[in-house]
């Protein structure tokens, strides 16, 4: 039997070294490859001990769509911003609108996105989202031309710190047209 504190240290090293989310089953397999017979509940206990250890620190264990990862707590992220200040990675408003539509209305075609946005979606935006692995082709609509259906990926969820698409904030309710005009006129 592995000491729970030592198992926590081992799990910490796995999460730190992996640099990506790890599923419980992956951790179990990795430990098994080192002749350590550890069950999933023991790994969960080790993760809980790590979470407790990190309460007063800038680090946290976060469960996202692809598993568990070690990361910097959100309130400390601004201190790292100068290290990663890469203007080429900024996301355009059009790209964010497009991925939001895919996230909330998936699966959708490019035509669906254009209908909702009211403008043409550039091939570059779709390509950028595919390259980032935020969206993927999930199939094809059974209509003439067989347009691709897009949906979000686990990478998208991981990058937004979400376990599932259900954790997205609710969409705001649309105002009736006459209320919108009244609000615009009121300033």
In sequence order, what are the beta bridge partners of 61? 70
Domain ranges of the chain: 4-79, 87-167
Is a pLDDT exceeding 80 seen at residue 85? no
| Cα 132 from Cα 95, distance rounded (Å) | 11
pTM beyond 0.85: the answer is no
Domain 87-167 class, CATH top level: mainly alpha
Find the distance separating the first CA and the last CA of the chain, reported in whole Å: 68
Hunting for tokens 């979400």 — which residue is that? 162
Average pLDDT rounded to a whole number, residues 118-135: 91
- For a pLDDT cut of 70, what percent of the chain falls above it? 87
- How many residues are given for the chain? 187
Per the model's pLDDT, the better-predicted residue between 17 and 2 turns out to be 17
The pLDDT confidence band at residue 178, using thresholds 50, 70 and 90, is low
Q: Which fold has domain 4-79?
A: Arc Repressor Mutant, subunit A (1.10.10)
**What is the structure's pLDDT at 183?**
54
For residues 133-153, give the mean pLDDT. 94
Of residues 86 and 64, the one with the higher pLDDT is 64
What single DSSP character describes residue 166? G
Omega before 149 cis (within 30°)? no
pLDDT, mean of residues 116-120: 89
Predicted local distance difference test score (pLDDT) of residue 98: 92
User: What local confidence, expressed as pLDDT, does residue 90 receive?
Assistant: 67
Fold match, 4-79 / 87-167: yes
Contact 126, 134 (CB under 8 A): no
């Amino acid at each position: 039997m592995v000491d729970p504190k030592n198992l926590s240290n081992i799990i910490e090293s796995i999460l730190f070294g992996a640099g990506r989310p790890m599923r419980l089953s992956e951790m179990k397999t990795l430990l098994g490859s080192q002749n350590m017979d550890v069950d999933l509940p023991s790994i969960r206990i080790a993760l809980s001990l790590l979470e407790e250890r990190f309460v007063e620190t800038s680090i946290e264990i976060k469960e996202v769509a692809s598993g568990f990862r070690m990361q910097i707590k959100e309130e400390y992220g601004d201190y790292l911003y100068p290290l990663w200040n890469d203007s080429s990675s900024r996301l355009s408003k059009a790209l964010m609108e497009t991925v939001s539509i895919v996230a909330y209305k998936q699966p959708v075609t490019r035509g669906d996105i254009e209908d909702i946005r009211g403008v043409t979606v550039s091939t570059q935006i779709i390509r950028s989202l595919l390259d980032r692995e935020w969206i993927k082709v999930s199939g094809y609509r059974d209509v003439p031309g067989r347009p691709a259906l897009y949906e979000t990926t686990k990478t998208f969820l991981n990058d937004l710190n979400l376990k599932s698409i259900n954790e997205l904030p609710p969409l705001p309710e649309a105002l009736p047209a006459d209320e919108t005009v009244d609000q615009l006129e009121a300033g």
